[in-house]
Amino acid sequence: MAGSGGEQTVAGYIKHHLTNLTFGKLPEGYERHTEHGTDIVGPGGQWTIAHGGEEATAMGFNAIHLDSMFWSLSLGIIFCWLFAKVARKASADTPSGLVNFIEMVVEFVDGTVRDTFHGRNPLVAPLALTIFVWVFLMNFMDLIPVDLIPEVLLVALGIPYQKVVPSTDPNITMGMALGVFFLMIYYSIKVKGFGFVKELTLVPFNHPAFIPLNFTIEFVGFLAKPFSLGLRLFGNMYAGEMVFILIAVIFSAGIAWMVPAGLLQIGWAIFHILVITLQAFIFMVLTIVYLSMAHEDH
């Protein structure tokens, strides 16, 4: 089991796989329990990599998940490089292979934007394509065996924790959702102007006496959009990751469980291909819908 350094309980194995590689600042006076005893963090605190969830919690808001950032940015770079490479190969001739597949993806996203977005904004289609492919690539990492990359990095570089599916980290999914939320606010103000304020204060009851009630209802609904967008992706991918981890636990139950566990893993992986694609599509479609609403001036 990854990162065990020996025998490990099932609970410890699951907890280990759900722990991010976290870098942050431990507060002054914090007691670090290591193999060599207890160390006290000196004056001014200490910037370090957390050894376990307790230290990551003690680091607070300023801590950063190195694994989530590395894999999400790496997959984003792969996406940009791949699509740029295909764009250079594109021609008027009949496409084949990878070029044909990429063109199908682009046409699919473009068709979805045309059917869903009712405004005029050249940013929406490229944004939708970026979200769909990037989220899909992050979700696709869930199909890699849960112990493969963590074990390799532990043996080769001594890295104790490694979560390779960025979309199972709420910081990543909520960060993307907040980016969409800021675009919603920007275009709502740009397109509607003062009409955006009227939407928040005079809907659904068009009377000054109901402004506080209207604002409460509309503001809560407005804030619910980024939370539902980010938490939906996180919840589905986190649940999928948990299933893969539990199946990996079955492999350690003995030789008799190898075949059932293997069949379960294959079956769940096949079903999960649909899940990771659907979640990327839902995130993209909701982004288009929210931006379309921001462009609609009643």
Q: Which tens digits make up the pLDDT trace of 231-259? A: 999 999 999 999 999 998 888 878 888 88
In whole numbers, what is the pLDDT of the chain averaged over residues?
A: 90
Strand 37-40 relative to strand 22-26, pairing: unpaired
pLDDT of residue 288: 96
Bridge partners, residue 34, by sequence = 37
pLDDT confidence of residue 11 = 87
Tens of pLDDT along 177-226?
999 999 999 999 999 888 888 888 888 888 888 999 999 999 999 999 99
- Tell me whether residue 105 is in a domain: yes
Tell me whether residue 257 is exposed, middle or buried, using C-beta atoms within 10 angstroms of its C-beta: 0 to 12, 13 to 18, 19 or more: middle
Let me know: does 110 contact 125? Beta carbons within 8 Å. Answer: yes
Region of poorest pLDDT, from 101-105, 251-255, 279-283: 251-255
> What's residue 1's pLDDT?
44
Cα→Cα distances 127→45, 109, 130, Å: 41, 10, 5
Task: Give the pairing of strands 37-40 and 64-65.
Answer: unpaired
Whole-number Å distance between alpha carbons of 109 and 280 = 11
Largest CA distance in the chain: 72
Question: Per-residue pLDDT for 297 more than 90?
Answer: no
Query: Would you say residue 120 lies in a domain?
Result: yes
Cα separation, 75 vs 68, whole angstroms:
11
Per-residue pLDDT at 5 exceeds 60 = no
List all residues 6 or more positions away from 214 whose beta carbon is below 8 Å from its beta carbon.
200, 201, 202, 203, 204, 205
**Domain contains 232:** yes
Please classify residue 115 by burial: count the beta carbons closer than 10 Å to its beta carbon, then call 0-12 exposed, 13-18 middle and 19+ buried.
exposed
Token pair in block for residue 276: 């990771």
Please report which confidence band the pLDDT of residue 3 belongs to, taking 50, 70 and 90 as the band edges: very low
Active site residues: 228, 232, 236
User: Cis ω on the peptide bond leading into residue 204 (within 30° of 0)?
Assistant: yes
Q: Is 130 domain-assigned? A: yes
Q: Tell me the C-alpha distance between 184 and 176, whole Å.
A: 13
pLDDT surpassing 70 at residue 135: yes
From residue 260, give the alpha-carbon distance in Å to each of 13, 182, 245, 255: 20, 47, 15, 10
Among the residues of 47-123, which ranges form H helices? 53-59, 66-89, 98-116
Indicate whether 6 pLDDT > 60.
no
Q: Are 52 and 63 a contacting pair, CB within 8 Å?
A: no
65-78, pLDDT tens digit by residue?
Answer: 999 999 999 999 99
Residue 82 domain flag: yes
Q: For residues 135 and 277, what is the distance between their CA atoms, to the nearest angstrom?
A: 9
Is residue 164 within 8 A of residue 137, CB to CB? The reply is no
In a domain, residue 185? The reply is: yes
Tokens 């999928």, residue?
A: 240
- Domain hosting 72: range is 64-295
Residue type, 68: S
Q: Are 32 and 55 in contact (CB under 8 A)?
A: yes
- Whether 280 maps to a domain, the answer reads yes
User: Which of the four pLDDT bands, split at 50, 70 and 90, describes residue 134?
Assistant: very high
Q: Report the pLDDT averaged over residues 165-173.
A: 95
- Number of domains comprising the chain: 1
**Hey, is 20 helix, strand or coil?**
coil
**What H or E segment, with its residue span, contains residue 33?**
strand 31-34
With CA atoms as reference, report the closest residue to 12 among 252, 194, 240: 252
Question: Which range has the top average pLDDT, 125-134, 187-196, 289-298?
Answer: 125-134
2: pLDDT strictly greater than 60: no
**In this structure, is residue 158 part of a structural domain?**
yes
* Top-confidence residue, 201 or 139: 139
Q: What is the pLDDT of residues 111-121, one digit of tens each?
A: 999 999 988 89
